[in-house]
Amino acid sequence: MYLSREEEMMWNGEFGDIIERAIKAVVRYGELMGADRLVKISHAHVSGISIFNIGDAGLSFIEDVAEGNARFRVYTTANPYAAVDTTFEGRAFNDVIVAKQRRIIESLRKLGATAFTCAPYYVRRPGLGEHLAWAESNAVLYANSVVGAMTNREGGPIALLEALIGRAPNYGMHLRDRRVPDYIVNVPKPSNYVEAAVIGYLIGRLNPTQTPLVRGVPKGIPEDWVRAMLAGFGASSHQPLMLIDGISPDLKHLKCLIPESLERVSLEERNIREFIKDHECSTADLLVAGCPHLSPNELPEIVARAVSVIRSGKVRARECWIITGDFVSDSMLKRVGALGDSRVKILKNVCPVVTRLNEIGVNSVCTDSAKALHYMPKLAGVNAYLLTSLR
Ligand code: F3S
């Protein structure tokens, strides 16, 4: 692989041992993926920071890196961490887990992580054509498909190493000619947030290893519906890009290059309705909204609706957790919190999906997120259902 003068210096240890090891690992990974060189990135996003997911081995890896002199070379954000500081009806996580999760957060802060959210595009929105090294599927999909930035769907540890050297291997989504559709899927017009999330999820299930060109998404669809659709798609597919007619900037250059012979498939309204019917429920221990993290624009309305849904008994739940990131100001939190009910908690910077909720007495969750629905049984140890009355 071609290395610039500065990259050679990193390779030869002139920036220290950690950077030398980081560039050697990233180059090895790049060679396996067929990259010809490294590309400079402007923003890295690290995932995989829940103590429940990465365990002691992941904690040692992050602490070892942070104990050296190396620091992130580019603007870096990280995924939300496990909600170990939160209680459920007064039940708390054990102190050992809480302490380990805090050590992970502290090490990442020491390395230079500026925020802990799965919506880094609300913290720093990348520019068109900007090269990134993002891990976290919904963020990767949002960056590529909505913003027109360029990032592969990195793994958590690799994104951390890429943050240290400010480079990513030049392959896949960093190459314009790889950002093309493999097939066309026509979708029905979603009539709410949950339907948009389910459409994304079902597209991913159609063909998890190919890039769709999605047609039928109406102009002017709310931004959070698009986010929900991409998050759902990311849960059931491995792809880093969904090209959406009328939304994805790449399509402006591609239009005339898309062959008419591309395979076409359709999702029907009944597919969406049946999926929702099979998964919805109105009774659970816990309601969860904010997977991915809610934007400041949505938060007040979702909190107000959650309070109303719980008070009216329309959904029977013991608590409701509404999740967002640090991009929501304390004054807004205070204002929104005042709408509340003690059963409705607004949590920042955490991910309930990567939290072993069964350890604090939660057995079932109702959520408006197709992504949470997919992952929670395995990662959170709970039964998960769709919540349709919040949106
Ligand atoms: Fe975010 Fe966790 Fe959902 S990282 S997208 S809240 S699974």
Q: Which domains does the chain have, with CATH numbers?
A: 5-176 (3.30.499), 180-275 (no CATH), 280-386 (3.40.50)
Q: In which band, very low, low, confident or very high, does the pLDDT at 351 lie, cut at 50, 70 and 90?
A: very high
333 pLDDT exceeds 80? Answer: yes
Q: In which band, very low, low, confident or very high, does the pLDDT at 257 lie, cut at 50, 70 and 90?
A: confident
| pLDDT for the residue 253 | 84
Element (H, E) at 270: helix 269-279
Which residues are 332's β-sheet partners?
none
Q: What angle do CA 252, 255, 258 make, to 5 degrees?
A: 140
Residue to mutate, 137, 293, 295, 368, ligand 1, most ligand atoms under 8 Å from C-beta:
293
Per-residue model confidence as pLDDT tens digits over 57-92: 999 999 999 999 899 999 999 999 999 999 999 999
**Which atom of ligand 1 is least distant from the CA of 369?**
3
**Which atom of ligand 1 is least distant from the CA of 119?**
1
Q: How far is the CA of 360 from the centre of ligand 1 (A)?
A: 19
Give the pLDDT mean for 237-249.
97
What is the overall mean pLDDT for the chain? 96
Structure tokens that stand for 109 in this block: 């802060």
340 pLDDT exceeds 90? Answer: no
CA nearest ligand 1 atom 6, residue: 291
Give the pLDDT mean for 344-368.
97
Helix, strand, coil proportions of the chain in percent (round to 5)? 45, 20, 35
Give the pLDDT mean for 208-215.
97
Return d(Cα 299, Cα 192) in angstroms, integer. 16
335 pLDDT exceeds 90? Answer: no
Count CB neighbours of 266 within 10 A: 13
Q: In which band, very low, low, confident or very high, does the pLDDT at 339 lie, cut at 50, 70 and 90?
A: confident
CB of 148 closer than 8 Å to CB of 141: no
- For residue 325 and ligand 1, the question of a CB distance below 6 A is answered with no
CA nearest ligand 1 atom 5, residue: 292
Structure tokens that stand for 383 in this block: 């039964």
Q: How far is the CA of 195 from the centre of ligand 1 (A)?
A: 18
Give the pLDDT mean for 336-356.
92
Q: In which band, very low, low, confident or very high, does the pLDDT at 285 lie, cut at 50, 70 and 90?
A: very high
Per-residue model confidence as pLDDT tens digits over 360-377: 999 999 999 999 999 999
CA nearest ligand 1 atom 7, residue: 353
Per-residue model confidence as pLDDT tens digits over 86-117: 999 999 999 999 999 999 999 999 999 999 99
| Mutual angle of helices 223-236 and 193-206, in 10-degree steps | 30
- For residue 234 and ligand 1, the question of a CB distance below 6 A is answered with no
Residue to mutate, 52, 117, 138, 348, ligand 1, most ligand atoms under 8 Å from C-beta:
138
| pLDDT for the residue 173 | 98
255 pLDDT exceeds 80? Answer: no
CB proximity list for 157: less than 8 A, separation 6 or greater:
48, 61
Name the pTM for this structure. 0.97
Give the pLDDT mean for 325-337.
89
Element (H, E) at 340: none
Q: Which one, of 190, 180, 254, lies nearest residue 212 by Cα? A: 180
